[in-house]
Chain A
Amino acid sequence: MQDRPTAVELLEAAAEFVEREIVPAIQGARQFQVRVVANVMRIAAREMHLEDPAVRAEVRALAELLGHEKPHLHSLDDLHAAAIKLNGELSERIRAGEADAGDFRARTLRVVRQAVEDKLRVANPRYLEADFAARGKATDQTN
């Protein structure tokens, strides 16, 4: 067990320094690249918070959609492997035309949209907020 600050706190401290001290001190292409550096640190920090519950929910929803038993997985690596396997199976069923219409299409769209929204909560929460606003949906409550 590591001492504080946590990994998230370390990344956020680094990102904040880059945004406040480095970005204003440089211009042009370099400034853009340094903004990107701060942004990827922010992404990594959000992922540490959000990935475990999100991928757990994704695996559960995919198993239910595909008619599998609820998996009992603990480590994040196992969950990621399961998510890839189940998304692969769903992709094959979509390619076979099973999600072209009807109940399975509606359920597939719900599960896929949820997973995509969870990716955006990590990668670009502002994009997701803008999308909710544009489609007249309530503000994202999960952050």
Chain B
Amino acid sequence: MEPGEIARRLEEFIRDNGGFDRVAIENFRRMAGGASREIWSFDAELTRGGKTARRGLVLRRDPGAHKIDTSRSAEFRVLRAAHLEGVPVPEVLWLGEDASALDAPFFVMERVAGETIARRLLRDEEYAPARKDMPAQLAEILARIHRIDPKRHKLDFLAAPGDNAALTEVRRYEDNLRKLALEPHPAFELTFRWLLGRIPKTPRTTLVHGDYRIGNVIFGPEGVRSVLDWELAHLGDPMEDIGWMCVRAWRFGNDHKPVGGLGTREEFFAAYAQASGVAVDPEAARFWEVFGNLRWGIITISQARTHIDGFVKSVELASIGRRTAETELELLNLIEGA
């Protein structure tokens, strides 16, 4: 669908669902990031009863891809729960669940000012204060996410992990690999053996963000402003988010600082323990870090397949297919002699 057509249909949708007399959209443009998902930024003039308000808004739309459990409506409901529990997230406004309005499921949320590009965070002078404060901020916000009660917010529809969250996740991604990989990957097979020999217990089951990392937060010089990309949220072991935060790809080259290129594992674990009252078992965190690297490797295959199979033709998705080897090397480093 052409951008002009999306904007026109979106005006009608917001008018009808928001109870407005008139809606006018301006500055409708695609934002950076989100290779297989579309993010559009726009300004809306909302008129009701002769009064007009202007709001900066964002449209999230998923025009079809090889999906590893994504759903716009689930993301919308999780975002609303997070907002109510004081997690810094954009306020979600309208959900287009049945896909008819824009040919794909979508929702509209408030636009939060700030930067998302991880390399700017790690390199630009302007963000030096953010670099210092963000490891502790990210740990505190994560503790708050893990305190959200799924029952109270009617999030029990999310995929539940069964008796053992680690085993469930490992099996799920093994299935994904078998379905998606076009070539054998012995480095991934070695990693599955390593993980299956070290499955940790699941001491508590919580809401898990599922993609908690730099690149998925809006920040300013003062630090975190908003946590984005909730489409992989599920119920599981909170240590999964801790391990994902330590995955090498999210260091963007700053490899001497394992947590998002910003800090050490020790300071991140300590800040999380202080905020949550739950100590981080380094063995369990290591399991989830290895799993996280493997998971990212399988996602790179899935993204390449999205291009190869023609769901979304994109040079960016195609190029991600050649990043699989990066995760294979990191996995060999992590499992060799351990």
Contact = CB atoms under 8 A, between A and B. Distances in A.
Contacts of A135: 333
Interface string B251-264: 00101100000000
B273 to A, nearest CB: 28
A102 to B, nearest CB: 13
A113 interface: yes
Nearest to B320: A36
Given A36-B316, A117-B329, A123-B322, A95 B193 contact: yes
B183 A40 contact: no
A37 interface: yes
Nearest to A118: B325
A104 B5 CA distance: 60
Contact of A116 (B184, B187, B193): B187
Contacts of B325: 116, 119-120, 123-124
Nearest to A98: B193
B189 interface: yes
Contact of A100 (B33, B193, B328): B193
Nearest to B190: A94
Interface of A is mostly: helix
Interface string B43-55: 0000000000000
Nearest to A117: B329
Contact of A112 (B190, B253, B316): B190
Interface in B16-37: 30-33
B319 A29 contact: no
B93 interface: no
Contact of B186 (A108, A123, A131): A108
Interface in A82-104: 84, 87-88, 90-91, 94-95, 97, 99-100
Nearest to B117: A32
B203 interface: no
A45 interface: no
Contact of A97 (B193, B256, B329): B193
A131 B328 contact: no
B1 interface: no
A116 B329 contact: yes
Nearest to B192: A95
B336 A91 contact: no
Given A39-B319, A40-B315, A123-B325, A32 B32 contact: yes
Given A91-B184, A94-B193, A120-B326, A109 B315 contact: no
B155 interface: no
Nearest to B174: A95
Given A29-B32, A99-B193, A100-B197, A124 B186 contact: no
A123 B300 CA distance: 13
Contacts of B189: 90-91, 94-95
B65 interface: no
Given A84-B184, A117-B329, A119-B325, A29 B31 contact: yes
Contact of A37 (B190, B197, B253, B315): B315
Contacts of A112: 186-187, 190, 328, 332
The listed residue with most B CB atoms (<10 A of its CB), out of A36, A116, A127, is A116
Contacts of B316: 33, 36
| A-B CB proximity, top 4 nearest | A119-B325, A29-B32, A87-B184, A123-B322
24 contacts: A29-B30, A32-B32, A33-B315, A40-B322, A43-B322, A84-B184, A87-B184, A90-B189, A94-B190, A100-B193, A108-B186, A109-B336, A116-B187, A116-B329, A119-B325, A120-B325, A123-B326, A124-B322, A124-B326, A127-B329, A130-B253, A131-B329, A134-B256, A135-B333
